[in-house]
Structure 1
Amino acid sequence: MKGSCLCGAVTYEIDQLDMPIRHCHCRTCQKAHAAAFATTAGAMRKHFRWLEGEEVRSSFESSPGKKRWFCRTCGSHLIAEREGQPHVIVRVATLDDDRRWRVPAPSLAPA
Protein backbone atom coordinates (compact mmCIF):
# COMPACT_ATOMS: atom_id res chain seq x y z
CA MET A 1 0.00 0.00 0.00
CA LYS A 2 1.28 3.44 -0.85
CA GLY A 3 0.59 6.66 0.97
CA SER A 4 1.34 10.33 0.48
CA CYS A 5 0.82 13.83 1.77
CA LEU A 6 -1.75 16.22 0.31
CA CYS A 7 0.66 17.83 -2.19
CA GLY A 8 2.25 14.48 -3.14
CA ALA A 9 5.82 15.51 -2.30
CA VAL A 10 6.24 12.90 0.45
CA THR A 11 5.41 9.28 -0.31
CA TYR A 12 5.74 6.06 1.62
CA GLU A 13 4.88 2.39 1.27
CA ILE A 14 3.76 -0.25 3.73
CA ASP A 15 3.45 -3.97 3.16
CA GLN A 16 0.54 -4.34 5.57
CA LEU A 17 -1.19 -2.85 8.57
CA ASP A 18 -0.13 -4.85 11.61
CA MET A 19 -2.39 -3.29 14.22
CA PRO A 20 -6.09 -2.44 14.23
CA ILE A 21 -7.44 0.77 12.77
CA ARG A 22 -8.52 3.04 15.61
CA HIS A 23 -9.46 6.64 16.32
CA CYS A 24 -7.18 8.51 18.67
CA HIS A 25 -8.88 11.50 20.27
CA CYS A 26 -6.16 12.60 22.67
CA ARG A 27 -5.66 16.36 22.89
CA THR A 28 -2.36 16.18 20.96
CA CYS A 29 -3.98 14.39 17.99
CA GLN A 30 -6.87 16.84 18.07
CA LYS A 31 -4.47 19.78 17.86
CA ALA A 32 -2.15 18.17 15.29
CA HIS A 33 -4.99 17.30 12.91
CA ALA A 34 -7.41 20.14 13.74
CA ALA A 35 -10.08 17.49 14.17
CA ALA A 36 -11.92 15.60 16.88
CA PHE A 37 -9.75 12.51 16.26
CA ALA A 38 -7.09 10.99 14.02
CA THR A 39 -7.63 7.60 12.41
CA THR A 40 -4.48 5.51 12.87
CA ALA A 41 -3.11 2.01 12.54
CA GLY A 42 0.23 0.47 13.37
CA ALA A 43 2.68 -0.97 10.86
CA MET A 44 5.82 -2.78 11.91
CA ARG A 45 8.96 -0.85 10.98
CA LYS A 46 10.07 -3.70 8.73
CA HIS A 47 6.86 -3.17 6.71
CA PHE A 48 7.28 0.63 6.32
CA ARG A 49 9.48 2.55 3.83
CA TRP A 50 9.78 6.22 2.90
CA LEU A 51 9.87 6.51 -0.92
CA GLU A 52 10.13 10.22 -1.77
CA GLY A 53 10.24 13.62 -0.17
CA GLU A 54 13.19 13.51 2.20
CA GLU A 55 13.90 17.18 1.40
CA VAL A 56 10.45 18.31 2.59
CA ARG A 57 9.81 15.71 5.28
CA SER A 58 10.17 17.02 8.81
CA SER A 59 9.33 15.96 12.34
CA PHE A 60 8.81 17.34 15.81
CA GLU A 61 8.59 15.81 19.25
CA SER A 62 4.95 16.30 20.22
CA SER A 63 5.33 14.64 23.62
CA PRO A 64 8.34 13.13 25.34
CA GLY A 65 9.71 10.39 23.09
CA LYS A 66 7.03 10.70 20.39
CA LYS A 67 8.02 12.09 16.99
CA ARG A 68 5.42 13.15 14.40
CA TRP A 69 6.47 13.21 10.74
CA PHE A 70 4.82 15.64 8.31
CA CYS A 71 5.31 17.41 4.97
CA ARG A 72 6.73 20.93 5.35
CA THR A 73 5.09 21.98 2.07
CA CYS A 74 1.43 21.08 2.71
CA GLY A 75 1.46 20.26 6.44
CA SER A 76 0.03 16.73 6.16
CA HIS A 77 0.86 14.51 9.12
CA LEU A 78 1.89 11.08 7.85
CA ILE A 79 3.18 8.92 10.70
CA ALA A 80 4.22 9.08 14.32
CA GLU A 81 6.78 6.95 16.09
CA ARG A 82 8.31 6.31 19.47
CA GLU A 83 11.97 5.39 19.51
CA GLY A 84 12.46 1.79 20.54
CA GLN A 85 8.98 0.63 19.54
CA PRO A 86 8.84 -1.96 16.75
CA HIS A 87 6.07 -0.13 14.86
CA VAL A 88 5.13 3.25 13.42
CA ILE A 89 1.67 4.81 13.65
CA VAL A 90 0.29 5.49 10.18
CA ARG A 91 -2.33 8.18 9.57
CA VAL A 92 -4.81 5.97 7.69
CA ALA A 93 -6.27 8.87 5.68
CA THR A 94 -2.89 9.32 3.94
CA LEU A 95 -3.05 5.87 2.30
CA ASP A 96 -3.57 6.16 -1.47
CA ASP A 97 -4.20 2.66 -2.73
CA ASP A 98 -7.41 0.75 -3.28
CA ARG A 99 -8.32 0.93 0.40
CA ARG A 100 -8.04 -2.82 1.04
CA TRP A 101 -7.63 -1.75 4.64
CA ARG A 102 -11.23 -0.66 5.08
CA VAL A 103 -13.25 -2.39 7.71
CA PRO A 104 -16.32 -3.99 6.08
CA ALA A 105 -19.60 -2.17 6.66
CA PRO A 106 -21.91 -3.85 9.16
CA SER A 107 -24.80 -5.81 7.77
CA LEU A 108 -28.16 -4.05 7.92
CA ALA A 109 -30.02 -7.35 8.05
CA PRO A 110 -31.95 -8.00 11.28
CA ALA A 111 -30.10 -10.18 13.74
Structure 2
Amino acid sequence: MAIRGSCLCGSVHYEITGSFALAGHCHCSICRKANGAAYVSWGIIDPEQFRWTAGQDHIAQYESSPGKQRCFCRQCGASLASSHGGRVSEVVLGSVDGDPGTRPLEHIFVDSKAIWHDITDELPRHGEWPPGMGL
Protein backbone atom coordinates (compact mmCIF):
# COMPACT_ATOMS: atom_id res chain seq x y z
CA MET A 1 0.00 0.00 0.00
CA ALA A 2 1.33 3.42 -0.94
CA ILE A 3 1.93 6.25 1.51
CA ARG A 4 0.47 9.51 0.26
CA GLY A 5 1.02 13.08 1.36
CA SER A 6 0.17 16.64 0.45
CA CYS A 7 0.67 20.28 1.34
CA LEU A 8 -1.63 22.46 3.43
CA CYS A 9 -3.53 23.98 0.49
CA GLY A 10 -3.76 20.69 -1.44
CA SER A 11 -1.88 21.91 -4.50
CA VAL A 12 1.03 19.46 -4.15
CA HIS A 13 0.70 15.68 -3.68
CA TYR A 14 3.23 12.87 -3.50
CA GLU A 15 3.34 9.11 -3.18
CA ILE A 16 5.81 6.68 -1.61
CA THR A 17 5.50 3.10 -2.86
CA GLY A 18 7.59 1.61 -0.05
CA SER A 19 7.91 2.18 3.66
CA PHE A 20 10.02 4.51 5.74
CA ALA A 21 13.47 3.17 6.57
CA LEU A 22 13.73 5.33 9.70
CA ALA A 23 11.96 8.24 11.34
CA GLY A 24 13.16 10.74 13.91
CA HIS A 25 12.84 14.20 15.36
CA CYS A 26 15.41 16.80 14.26
CA HIS A 27 16.10 19.75 16.58
CA CYS A 28 18.66 21.59 14.43
CA SER A 29 18.20 25.33 13.94
CA ILE A 30 17.63 24.88 10.19
CA CYS A 31 14.70 22.47 10.71
CA ARG A 32 13.27 24.69 13.45
CA LYS A 33 13.33 27.79 11.24
CA ALA A 34 12.11 25.97 8.11
CA ASN A 35 9.10 24.57 9.95
CA GLY A 36 8.42 27.18 12.64
CA ALA A 37 8.43 24.55 15.37
CA ALA A 38 10.62 23.20 18.19
CA TYR A 39 11.63 20.29 15.93
CA VAL A 40 10.52 18.52 12.78
CA SER A 41 9.76 14.83 12.39
CA TRP A 42 11.43 13.34 9.31
CA GLY A 43 11.07 9.98 7.63
CA ILE A 44 13.91 8.56 5.55
CA ILE A 45 12.88 6.84 2.31
CA ASP A 46 14.34 5.13 -0.72
CA PRO A 47 14.41 7.87 -3.40
CA GLU A 48 13.39 5.29 -6.03
CA GLN A 49 10.06 4.86 -4.23
CA PHE A 50 9.08 8.56 -4.19
CA ARG A 51 7.20 10.55 -6.83
CA TRP A 52 5.33 13.82 -7.02
CA THR A 53 1.77 13.05 -8.21
CA ALA A 54 0.31 16.56 -8.52
CA GLY A 55 1.33 20.19 -8.35
CA GLN A 56 4.94 19.99 -9.48
CA ASP A 57 4.62 23.58 -10.72
CA HIS A 58 3.86 24.63 -7.10
CA ILE A 59 7.02 23.07 -5.66
CA ALA A 60 9.77 25.47 -4.66
CA GLN A 61 13.18 24.46 -3.34
CA TYR A 62 15.67 26.11 -1.04
CA GLU A 63 19.25 24.93 -0.57
CA SER A 64 19.48 24.99 3.23
CA SER A 65 22.89 23.31 3.33
CA PRO A 66 25.30 22.21 0.59
CA GLY A 67 23.60 19.64 -1.64
CA LYS A 68 20.37 19.58 0.39
CA GLN A 69 17.24 21.15 -1.06
CA ARG A 70 14.16 21.65 1.08
CA CYS A 71 10.99 21.23 -0.99
CA PHE A 72 7.91 23.23 -0.08
CA CYS A 73 4.69 24.47 -1.65
CA ARG A 74 5.19 27.93 -3.10
CA GLN A 75 1.48 28.68 -2.56
CA CYS A 76 0.93 27.75 1.11
CA GLY A 77 4.55 27.38 2.28
CA ALA A 78 4.09 23.88 3.67
CA SER A 79 7.34 21.98 4.15
CA LEU A 80 7.16 18.62 2.36
CA ALA A 81 10.49 16.91 1.75
CA SER A 82 14.23 17.22 1.26
CA SER A 83 16.25 16.13 -1.71
CA HIS A 84 19.92 15.26 -1.90
CA GLY A 85 21.48 15.39 -5.33
CA GLY A 86 18.06 16.08 -6.85
CA ARG A 87 16.40 12.97 -5.37
CA VAL A 88 13.87 13.11 -2.53
CA SER A 89 15.16 11.01 0.35
CA GLU A 90 13.43 12.58 3.37
CA VAL A 91 9.77 13.43 3.91
CA VAL A 92 8.27 15.63 6.62
CA LEU A 93 6.03 13.21 8.52
CA GLY A 94 3.52 15.99 9.19
CA SER A 95 2.79 16.15 5.45
CA VAL A 96 1.70 12.49 5.28
CA ASP A 97 -2.04 11.99 4.82
CA GLY A 98 -3.00 9.34 7.38
CA ASP A 99 -0.73 6.94 9.23
CA PRO A 100 2.85 6.92 7.90
CA GLY A 101 3.32 3.37 9.19
CA THR A 102 6.30 4.34 11.34
CA ARG A 103 7.06 6.18 14.54
CA PRO A 104 10.07 8.38 15.33
CA LEU A 105 12.85 6.40 16.99
CA GLU A 106 15.24 9.16 18.11
CA HIS A 107 16.00 12.84 18.57
CA ILE A 108 18.92 14.31 16.62
CA PHE A 109 20.83 17.59 16.90
CA VAL A 110 19.69 18.04 20.49
CA ASP A 111 22.81 20.12 21.18
CA SER A 112 21.14 22.93 19.23
CA LYS A 113 17.53 22.38 20.35
CA ALA A 114 15.28 25.31 21.25
CA ILE A 115 16.06 26.45 24.80
CA TRP A 116 12.34 26.79 25.52
CA HIS A 117 11.54 23.17 24.58
CA ASP A 118 12.01 20.21 26.93
CA ILE A 119 12.24 16.70 25.50
CA THR A 120 10.00 14.61 27.72
CA ASP A 121 10.09 11.16 26.11
CA GLU A 122 12.66 8.40 26.52
CA LEU A 123 13.76 8.13 22.88
CA PRO A 124 17.54 8.09 22.31
CA ARG A 125 19.13 11.54 21.94
CA HIS A 126 22.07 12.49 19.74
CA GLY A 127 23.95 15.78 19.92
CA GLU A 128 24.40 15.80 16.16
CA TRP A 129 24.05 13.04 13.53
CA PRO A 130 23.67 9.56 15.03
CA PRO A 131 26.66 7.26 14.45
CA GLY A 132 26.81 6.17 10.81
CA MET A 133 24.05 8.52 9.65
CA GLY A 134 25.22 11.94 8.38
CA LEU A 135 23.05 12.47 5.28
Superposed pair shares fold, TM > 0.5: yes
TM-score of the aligned structures, taking structure 1 as reference length? 0.84
TM-score of the aligned structures, taking structure 2 as reference length? 0.70
CA offsets per residue over residues 57-85 of structure 1, 9 Å max, x none? 11010111110000001000100021177
Partner in structure 2 of residue 28 of structure 1: 30
Q: Could you tell me which amino acid in structure 2 is paired with residue 88 of structure 1?
A: S
Q: Could you tell me which amino acid in structure 2 is paired with residue 91 of structure 1?
A: V
The change in CA–CA distance for 1:28 and 1:100 in structure 2 (over 3 A counts) is closer
More strand by share: 1
Instruction: Provide the alpha-carbon RMSD of the alignment.
Output: 1.6
Q: Could you tell me which amino acid in structure 2 is paired with residue 8 of structure 1?
A: G
Offset of residue 16 of structure 1: 2.4
Asked if 2 retains the 8 angstrom alpha-carbon contact of 1:17 and 1:41, the reply is no
Asked if 1 retains the 8 angstrom alpha-carbon contact of 2:14 and 2:51, the reply is yes
- Determine if the alignment matches structure 1 residue 101 to structure 2 residue 101: yes
Asked if 2 retains the 8 angstrom alpha-carbon contact of 1:11 and 1:50, the reply is yes
Equivalent residue runs for 1:53-92 within 5 Å: 53-83=55-85, 88-92=89-93
CA offsets per residue over residues 13-47 of structure 1, 9 Å max, x none? 00123321100111100000011110001111111
Percent identical: 39
Number of residue pairs aligned between Structure 1 and Structure 2: 101
Offset of residue 7 of structure 1: 0.4
CA offsets per residue over residues 74-100 of structure 1, 9 Å max, x none? 000100021177x61100110103x15
